[in-house]
């Protein structure tokens, strides 16, 4: 199965995501290609990490209706950028904005570092659904990233149900 994702994030979050992606893809024998492009929309520019898993893209641009999921791990992103990004999303695709993902979780009281881990956890959760990876496997990878409150975060944001936890 081929999956194309776009990620908007700062470098700290991206570096964490990237190290996990390397682990996840290597462990699951999947192949992926990452390219960073700069997306332009009405004088607003956004760096976009384009990740293609399972396929083999040789492109330096994105075609309309070609992306499965977009993750925006960045607050205050201009509404017009989000609207422009809709053009690259497939009909059945989805945009996840971090603020909306955690709207019910009240992240105000969570440390910055934990927010990053939480964002990564959610990213992995969505990825596992699209790639049909077992949640058990995903949690194993998650646990290898950081031991700090990871179970608590997984439980708090219901990323994995109780009986699926490792």
In 4-157, which residue ranges form alpha helices assigned H by DSSP? Answer: 11-27, 79-85, 98-101, 112-131, 135-145, 150-156
- Figure out which of the listed residues 6, 46, 70, 95 binds other proteins, where binding follows CB under 8 A: 46
Residue 97 interacting with other proteins (CB under 8 A): no
- Pick between residue 116 and residue 125 the one whose CB is nearest to other proteins: 116
- Pick between residue 59 and residue 165 the one whose CB is nearest to other proteins: 59
Cα–Cα distances (Å) from 50 to 47, 62, 65, 76, 149, in that order, read: 10, 8, 14, 21, 30
Residues 71-90 that bind other proteins (CB under 8 A): 74-78, 87-88
- Figure out which of the listed residues 58, 91, 92, 108 binds other proteins, where binding follows CB under 8 A: 58
**Measuring CA to CA, which residue among 34, 43, 115 is closest to residue 84?**
43
- Figure out which of the listed residues 4, 16, 114, 115 binds other proteins, where binding follows CB under 8 A: 115
Residue 159 interacting with other proteins (CB under 8 A): no
**Measuring CA to CA, which residue among 68, 65, 63 is closest to residue 3?**
68
Residue 150 interacting with other proteins (CB under 8 A): no
# chain residues binding other proteins, by CB under 8 A: 45
Residue 63 interacting with other proteins (CB under 8 A): yes
Cα–Cα distances (Å) from 54 to 4, 28, 29, 31, 97, in that order, read: 9, 11, 10, 5, 24
Residues 8-27 that bind other proteins (CB under 8 A): 8-13, 18, 21-22, 25-26
Separation between Cα atoms, residue 84 and residue 44, nearest integer Å = 10
Smallest gap, in angstroms, from Cβ of residue 24 to other proteins?
9
Tokens of 165: 């936890």
Separation between Cα atoms, residue 62 and residue 110, nearest integer Å = 35
Q: Which residues bind other proteins (CB under 8 A)?
A: 8-13, 18, 21-22, 25-26, 29-41, 43-47, 58-64, 74-78, 87-88, 112, 115
């Amino acid at each position: 199965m081929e999956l194309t994702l776009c990620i908007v994030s700062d470098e700290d979050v991206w570096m964490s995501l990237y190290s996990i992606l390397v682990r996840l893809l290597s462990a699951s024998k999947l192949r992926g290609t990452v390219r960073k492009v700069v997306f332009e929309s009405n004088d607003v520019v956004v760096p976009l990490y384009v990740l293609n898993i399972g396929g083999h893209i040789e492109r330096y641009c994105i075609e309309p209706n070609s992306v499965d999921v977009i993750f925006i791990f960045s607050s205050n992103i201009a509404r017009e950028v989000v609207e422009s990004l809709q053009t690259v999303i497939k009909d059945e695709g989805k945009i996840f904005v971090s603020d909306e993902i955690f709207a019910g979780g009240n992240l105000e009281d969570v440390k910055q570092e934990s927010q990053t881990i939480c964002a990564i956890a959610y990213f992995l959760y969505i990825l596992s659904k699209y790639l049909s990876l077992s949640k058990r496997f995903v949690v194993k990878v998650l646990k290898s990233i950081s031991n700090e409150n990871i179970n608590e975060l997984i439980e708090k944001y219901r990323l994995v149900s109780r009986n699926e936890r490792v």
